[in-house]
Amino acid sequence: MSDEHQTWAPRDPSAASASPGNDEGAQGSSSGNGKKGRTKRPKRTGWRRLFPTWRMVLGSVLVAGLLLVGGFFAGYQLVDIPAANAGADAQSNVYFYKDGTVLARDGEVNREKVKLSQVPSNVQHAVLAAEDRDFYHQPAVDVRAMFRAGWNTVTGKGKQGGSTITQQYVKNYYLGQERTVVRKAKEFFIAIKLNREQSKDQIFEGYLNTSYFGRNAYGIQAAAQAYYGKNVEDLTTAEGAYLASLLNAPSQYDVVAHPGNKPAALDRWTYVLDGMVKEGWLDPGERSTTEFPVPGEAKPSTGLSGQRGYLVQAVEAYLTGNGIIDEETLATGGHRITTTLDKKKQDAFVAAVKDNVMKKRSGDREADKNVRVGGASIVPETGEVVAMYGGIDYTQQYVNNATRRDYQVGSTFKPFVFTAAVANDSTTQDGRRITPETYYDGTNKRTVQGPQGSTGYDPANEDDVDYGQITVRTATDKSVNSVYAQMAQDVGPEKVRETAVALGIPKTTPDLTASPSIALGPATASVLDLTEAYATLANHGRHGPYTLVDKVTKDGTEIELPDRKTEQAVSREAADTTTALLRSVVEGGTGSAAQAVGRPAVGKTGTAEEDKAAWFAGYTPDLATVVAVMGQNPESGIQTPLYGALGLDRVNGGGAPAETWAAYTEAALRSSPAKEFDLETAPGSDEPQEPGEDGTDTATGPTTPDGTPSSTAPSTPADTTTPSAPTAPASSAPPANDNSSTGTTGGATGGADGGGATGGDGDGGTGTGTEGGTDGGTDDSGTGTLGGTFIEGVRGARYPG
């Protein structure tokens, strides 16, 4: 058989190796390749094939290293320091009572930033001992610490933060609290960059101001207040160590909220103090005597509920309205605002309203749902607002009843008319100087007379009462509208307006119009406005704007407040004579309920049109206060009469407002000795006067007062109805004898209204005269046409002449 047809069989490896020519072949091959003496590396067999060679390991390490370096530089270049996250800079403005007690915080985040220099060194060291003992001499990130923290967690040796303070600050300020690989990578690179741009002190300060300590407290200052009720600069070493302990896990170490946490909290606190000793920051002797500082009870949120919202609202308006801080800056937060408000007086005001108004309401009376209360209290000498009542609860009724300007002040305005009369040495139409003892005609709906005759304005007295001939003092005690409307005309409505503005009523007050009706208080000044004006009277006529703020700081820097400038708004005699006049209102007039204050006091009641508001404004020598009870529908917001409210047919100023005023003032001044009024009244102000010539207050031709009356009747003021027109033209002829128009027949509607439309009693003369008005003829015809020119101030025909 030929070779082509031989059968194939596998080669025996042993035969090849045993061939005699094998060595030569191998050598020849080696020789042919140019490599002598080199043997082929045997292949890895068995279990060794499962592991990489050292060359593979080295190569992998080199590749990984290159990737890490490249990734690091890429990450460093790609990741920028971002803007702060939305809540990082958010701070609350903190408002304080004058004694330093926290009044309220107006932000959603309870945070107050402080300078690092404000934090005691032992408190700083406590934080470092708890969180990052090598902070000041290590890089921004500590890789070893990160691995160590991970290892300790895995092995159960406890939790110790692997992040440096710089990394924690980056998380707090720039990134947020989410736990993702991406966030952790960003934190790493931002921390490195930040460490190059900011000093260690800057980073540490930022960390202390952004860290969360529990109890809704962000930052070391808020934490100091939340746990110990003090500022950070007043913390002890023990307290600082406890706050530092909280950073690790606030809820786990609050021993008050969770008493069972005390063993763990004590261990953590001990760890911090021992760390301080180890680092040389705390003397071992001091450490041995340091006791665990149990924190105080968690306080309820000092948000804006109750009166706080009203007070904050008023303070903010004061700051922005006076150009101290603009709205945008104030909104950034971080301000510490010390107000002039006195906590004890504020609490007394709330209690007085509760006892004298709120407790009298009943759920069964629909009218009681409409009751609102506003109040304010000012120290006359300093202008400091020491208390304010804005409403039942800011979260339920957000409109501040102490500062709103939409309710008529009513008869509380009348003292300003009298003050203007004394300040301007005004006289009645027959030339008698206006004093508390001056007589006026108190006839109901008596038409006010001006220089050109009847003004057409005939205000009604309360309950349509005719008072007849009464003194100004009596007219003030009984709040007689007809007298004060004529007095305003006698003084000059514009002078009355100017006096009110000088005392403190804003010139822009709605319905502060120069007309006779100004006396009855149609103007809608706020409770606070009226309090300022009454405080000026209490301060002997010297006026200065009220103040609500005593001090403002931000980031440790005090913001300058404007100087409070005062001036003599009216003479001391004018103010003090008004005070003397108002004393009898409390002693026996409509404000007698205010006697319950138990010390010298003066005041004035007032009622708005249709009984939509009732007021009492009064003062002692050292405190001026105004209280108003208002009617407002809670659903529509429409002003509503107070008929039937508090179980009364009508709510007037001498009722709940005066009672509240007395209760508050008594409590507010309880610890102060009673003071007498030191008054310098106008000469002759207490001297009795007789009625006008021939027993009346008819005109004798004084100089024309300022303020030309309106040619048409003004709008109806508070407590009045629309005035009716006079029945006949005015006359100016005097009676021929003393018996003309004696009152009931001969001119009950004549005289001041127009010359005797009803006629005389049969004895009236027919002389023409120049001062009076003829009230009738010899046959009761009452022609009313024989007199001369009408002179302003001719009184009604109830009195002779």
pLDDT, tens only, 675-698: 999 999 999 888 888 886 534 444
The closest of 534, 502, 226 to 378, measured between CA atoms, is: 534
Q: Which single residue is written with the structure tokens 């009803």? A: 758
Whether the pTM exceeds 0.85: the reply is: no
Q: How far, CA to CA in Å, does 663 sit from each of 274, 594, 628, 774?
A: 57, 8, 14, 54
The mean pLDDT of 417-434, rounded to a whole number, is 95
Query: Using 50, 70 and 90 to split pLDDT, how confident is the model at 156?
Result: low
What SS3 class is residue 25? helix
Taking only the tens place, the pLDDT of each residue in 306-329 is 999 999 999 999 999 999 998 878
Residue 419, pLDDT score: 99
Residue 148, pLDDT score: 61
The CATH number of the domain covering residues in 410-523:
3.40.710.10
Residue 450, pLDDT score: 84
Taking only the tens place, the pLDDT of each residue in 275-302 is 999 999 999 999 999 999 999 988 766 6
Q: Which residue has the higher pLDDT, 759 or 547?
A: 547
Residue 162, pLDDT score: 58
Q: CA-CA distance, 695 to 689, in Å (whole number)?
A: 11
The Cα angle at residue 242 between residues 238 and 243, in degrees rounded to 5: 120
CB 503 within 8 A of CB 509: no
Instruction: Inform me whether the pLDDT recorded for 158 exceeds 70.
Output: no
Residue 172, pLDDT score: 72
The closest of 744, 773, 768 to 758, measured between CA atoms, is: 744
CB 589 within 8 A of CB 634: no
Instruction: Inform me whether the pLDDT recorded for 537 exceeds 50.
Output: yes
CB 617 within 8 A of CB 665: no
Per-residue DSSP letters for 725-769?
A: PPSS----PPPSSTTTT-SSSS-SS-BTTTS-SS---S-------
What integer best gives the mean pLDDT of the chain? 79
Q: What is the DSSP letter of 299?
A: P
* Helix spans in 543-588 (H): 572-588
CB 16 within 8 A of CB 22: yes
Exposure letters 62-91 (e unless 16+ CB within 10 A, then b): eeeeeeeeeeeeeeeeebebeeebeebbbb
The mean pLDDT of 46-54, rounded to a whole number, is 65
The mean pLDDT of 159-174, rounded to a whole number, is 72
Q: Which residue has the higher pLDDT, 19 or 53?
A: 53
Strand order in the sheet with 549-554: 102-105, 94-96, 335-339, 549-554, 557-558
Query: Using 50, 70 and 90 to split pLDDT, how confident is the model at 41?
Result: low
Residue 185, pLDDT score: 61
Residue 734, pLDDT score: 32
Instruction: Inform me whether the pLDDT recorded for 414 exceeds 90.
Output: yes
Taking only the tens place, the pLDDT of each residue in 564-585 is 999 999 999 999 999 999 999 9
Lowest mean pLDDT among 141-145, 341-345, 405-409: 141-145
Q: CA-CA distance, 439 to 394, in Å (whole number)?
A: 48
The top-scoring range by mean pLDDT among 177-186, 206-215, 411-420, 757-766 is: 411-420
Q: Which residue has the higher pLDDT, 182 or 498?
A: 498
Per-residue DSSP letters for 82-100?
A: -PPPTTTS----EEE-TTS
Residue type at 389?
A: Y
Query: Using 50, 70 and 90 to split pLDDT, how confident is the model at 87?
Result: low
CB 366 within 8 A of CB 641: no
Residue 44, pLDDT score: 60
User: How is domain 107-289 classified at the CATH fold level?
Assistant: Penicillin binding protein transpeptidase fold (1.10.3810)
The top-scoring range by mean pLDDT among 213-227, 665-679, 758-772 is: 665-679
* Helix spans in 172-283 (H): 181-197, 200-210, 220-228, 237-246, 262-278
Instruction: Inform me whether the pLDDT recorded for 383 exceeds 90.
Output: yes
Domain ranges of the chain: 107-289, 410-523, 726-801
Residue 686, pLDDT score: 86
Q: Which residue has the higher pLDDT, 525 or 765?
A: 525
Lowest mean pLDDT among 204-208, 297-301, 574-578, 668-672: 297-301
Q: Which two tokens stand for residue 328?
A: 């945008």
